[in-house]
Amino acid sequence: MSKILIVEDNQVLVKMYKIKLDLEGFQVETAFEGREGLEKLKDFLPDLILLDLAMPRMDGFEFLEELKKNEKWKKITVIIFSNLGQESDIKRAKELGAKDYLIKVNLTPRQVVEKIRQYL
Amino acid sequence: MSLVSVLIYFFSILANLGLGLIVFFRNPKNIINRFFTLITLPMAGWLATLFIINNVFSYRLISVSVRLNSAFLILLGYALFYFAYNFPEKTFSLTPLLNLAFTIETFGLIALTLLTLEITGNDLVSGESLTIYGRLYPLFVIHFLVYCGSSLLILLAKRKKFKGFPRAQINCLLLGLLGTLLFGTIMHILLPWLFEVENFHLLRPLSALFFLGFTSYGMVKFRLLDIRLIAARTVAYFLLLLLIGLLMASGLYAFNVLVLGESIARSQIYISVLMVLFILLAFPTLNKIFEKATDKIFLKEGYDTAKLLRKLSLITASTLSLEDLIKSVLDELFTRMKISQGSVVLLKDSEIFEIQPIEDKRVFSFGEKELAEISEKSSLENKILILDEIIEGKTKEMMRKLHLSIIISLKVRGKRVGLLLLGEKSSGEIYSVQDIAVFEILGPELAVAVQNAIAYEEIRKFNITLKKEIQKATSELRNANVRLKELDQLKNEFLSVATHELRTPMTAVKGYLDMVISGDAGKINKKTKEFLTEAFNVTDRLAILINDMLDVSRIEQKRLDLKIKNLDLSVEINKVCGQLNSLAKEKKLLLIYKSLKGLPLVKADLAKVRQILNNLIGNAIKFTKKGEVVISHKVNKEGVITQIKDTGIGIPEESLISLFQKFVRVNGALDREEGGTGLGLYISKGLVESMGGKIWGKSKPGQGSTFSFSLPRVK
């Protein structure tokens, strides 16, 4: 059973994706923002992280930087999952090691699951 | 009677007559000139009668001449007195009664002399005429001595009173008078008395030359008697001629008599002297040398004309700054020509334009009023205005008042750009013909230089203002740019925040709708599913619209972040076709891609090319009900053209161009149900053009449409 960590500050979306992914049989943990996400990683080592960018306290980029510093964590597949679609953001995220950059609004939860399966 | 004596007589009489007449006709109204003439004419008369007395052996003629001789001297004394009294201006005044008394006395004495033998007479003694003195002769002597003496005293008194030019003029007159009187006294009285010989009378006329010489010198050097420059030169010229003639004649005579020891006919000598004089006058070269000689003696130039002109030309041709130009030219004139004062006044449209402030005592410091007067008075004259040359009038008065000797209008193509004003020469000399010639050359050169300098000055000033303006504008622009950048930053932030905030709720709506539709929340009935699908589609279109608007704003703000790479279009088209194939199949359309072998790579951004292909192929499928959508290529020098041809409803020609505008959809051609934002073609156009390509469409209603775009090929 694949483990997924969702780092996302919007509770409505977190709830929605968690329901969908639970239904699809994934083991899902959620974090409200970057720091909480890093805390979660200590007990829960996911196969894939769905990472939002714009978050309070620690944003997605900072989270990604921290992630890549840790030997244990840096191999985890990270998919940026954001509604910010600026070219510069995409470029930066990929430079920091993100596997893909998805725009939330363009994808239905079904399509998100498909994408996740692609990367597992 | 010696030849020398004859020549002296001859020239003295002529010189006196000439000088008297020149001075008189120069300004007949001037009382000083009149009395001067009244001195020279009796002098000439006295010399003439003296000549007759000593050379002509006619008793009757001599007896008349003897009396005339005395009469002339009486008149001479009278004229001398009144000349001294008036020159250069009266320092005291005689009552009309006294004037009348003097006049009656003088003319009474003249009448007495001419009509009776009480003053002088003559007798024939053994064939020779002897002058005899009448009973009243002492009256004559007293008259002459009193008048001459008072003249001398008056002039001596005036000499103390005046300064500058008048004093120098008085000095000349005094020297001339004293010389004449002293020499005359010595020759007439002292020598005959001491040596008891009469032969000294041969040298008597020399006494007349003293006065003549000194007054002429005064005229030339100190502008005595307000004599015109040319007249002054004539006198100088004439005197030199006289001198040379005298020297030659005596030389010839001495040579003949002393060296050859033989006497030759006088007439022969006269003729040879006259011939030499004629040659001197007639041949231009000799004439020039002669003129130079007169100038050397009377008008010391002290500078080399050619050298000065070269220097002035160099200054006018090479000096750009107005101040330097004027300063240098004036300096050159001041030092070389020994001019006491001068200045350059700039004119613009005949108005005083600017007075260059130069800290120099030698530069005139006229007020605006005076300058306006100078400008006005000199505007009528075309030539160089020379104080000594112009006739009496307001202009001359003004020049005298302002101590201006020369006014040169600086003209460029007939338009006055300035005035060169010059004062007296510091030596007191008058301006020579050479000086005037220099001015005639300098004038136009300086005019052009002044105009150039003014133009340069204007350009320079304009440049400075321009520079300031540019600096100001630049700093304003810089500030504006900073503000714009700030604004741009704000707008970008706003745009991304707005986008983010719009997208997030829409993601939730879309997501939950999809999940419900997929049965994630439990089974739903058919109707519910249909309604929710409708809601999902609309929400999806809204999401696309937001994406499109984001693209539009990026295109319009030219903020497209392009990553231009070498792309194989056929790979991308195959990918897009693969994605869209299901859609085509749904509508039972054939989606055909006719690729070309060896299709050149294009220079383009991968994501943008996909967006364009998606849009165009998607449109073609969307608006075609049956038939096919064919994608093909054409290759030309510049690039690769991709054509998407459909068998749809087609578009009227007039709508084709407007199709690429924002929110435009063809009337009737678009089924609402087909969806789309009306931004697709506009975005495609922006994207294609941003990569250096072109996009266009061809269509006929009912016959389908062909949309094409080009992209630059890799070379």
Facing B520 at nearest CB: one of A23, A54, A104: A23
Q: Cβ of B561 and A13 within 8 Å?
A: no
Distance CA B554, CA A80 (A): 22
Confidence of residue A50 (pLDDT cuts 50, 70, 90): very high
Q: Are B40 and B17 in contact (CB under 8 A)?
A: yes
Average pLDDT score over chain A: 90
Q: Cβ of B506 and A13 within 8 Å?
A: no
Nearest CA in chain A to B494: A84
Q: Are B119 and B136 in contact (CB under 8 A)?
A: yes
State the nearest Cα–Cα gap between A107 and chain B, in angstroms.
8
Token duo for residue B5? 């004596």
B507 interaction partners in chain A (CB closer than 8 Å) = 13, 83, 104-105
pLDDT at B637: 87
Facing A105 at nearest CB: one of B514, B515, B543: B543
DSSP B119: S
**H or E element: which one contains B593?**
strand B590-593
Confidence of residue A26 (pLDDT cuts 50, 70, 90): very high
For residue B170, with 0-12 CB atoms within 10 Å meaning exposed, 13-18 middle and 19 or more buried, which class applies? buried
Listed range (B47-61, B73-87, B457-471, B498-512) with the worst mean pLDDT: B47-61
> How confident is the model over B96-143, as pLDDT tens digits?
898 899 999 999 988 888 887 777 776 666 666 667 777 778 888 888
Q: Are B708 and B696 in contact (CB under 8 A)?
A: yes
pTM for the model: 0.41
Which residue reads 């890093």 in tokens?
A38
Count of A-B CB contacts under 8 Å: 61
pLDDT at B17 over 80: yes
Q: Which of B246, B184, B202, B209 minimizes the C-alpha distance to B40?
A: B209
Q: Which of A29, A96, A89 minimizes the C-alpha distance to A62?
A: A96
Backbone angles phi, psi at A107, to 5 degrees: -120, 140
> How confident is the model over B507-544, as pLDDT tens digits?
999 999 999 999 888 889 999 999 999 999 888 888 88
By three-state DSSP, how is residue B261 classified? coil
Q: Which of A86, A14, A64, A88 minimizes the C-alpha distance to B500?
A: A86
A71 touches chain B (CB under 8 A): no
By three-state DSSP, how is residue B568 classified? coil
pLDDT at B301 over 60: no
pLDDT at B158 over 50: yes
Listed range (B64-73, B261-270, B277-286, B431-440) with the worst mean pLDDT: B261-270
Distance CA A64, CA A81 (A): 13
Q: Nearest 5 degrees, angle CA B433-CA B366-CA B397? A: 55
Token duo for residue B539? 């929400």
**H or E element: which one contains B698?**
strand B695-699
A106 interaction partners in chain B (CB closer than 8 Å) = 543, 547
pLDDT at B77 over 70: yes
Distance CA B308, CA B314 (A): 10
Q: Cβ of A13 and B511 within 8 Å?
A: yes
Residues of B near A (Cβ–Cβ under 8 Å) read 496, 499-500, 503-508, 510-512, 514-515, 518, 520, 543, 546-547, 550, 561
Mean pLDDT across A14-35: 93
Mean pLDDT across B44-63: 80
pLDDT at A109: 92
pLDDT at A5 over 90: yes
Q: Cβ of B547 and A110 within 8 Å?
A: no
pLDDT at B632 over 90: yes
pLDDT at B531: 92
Nearest CA in chain A to B492: A86
Among B494, B496, B499, B504, which would you mutate to test the A interface (most chain A Cβ atoms within 10 Å of its Cβ)?
Answer: B504
pLDDT at B611 over 80: yes
Mean pLDDT across B608-620: 91
CA dihedral B235→B237→B241→B247, nearest 10 degrees, is: 90
Which residue reads 């049989």 in tokens?
A25
State the nearest Cα–Cα gap between A116 and chain B, in angstroms.
16
pLDDT at B672: 44
Average pLDDT score over chain B: 80
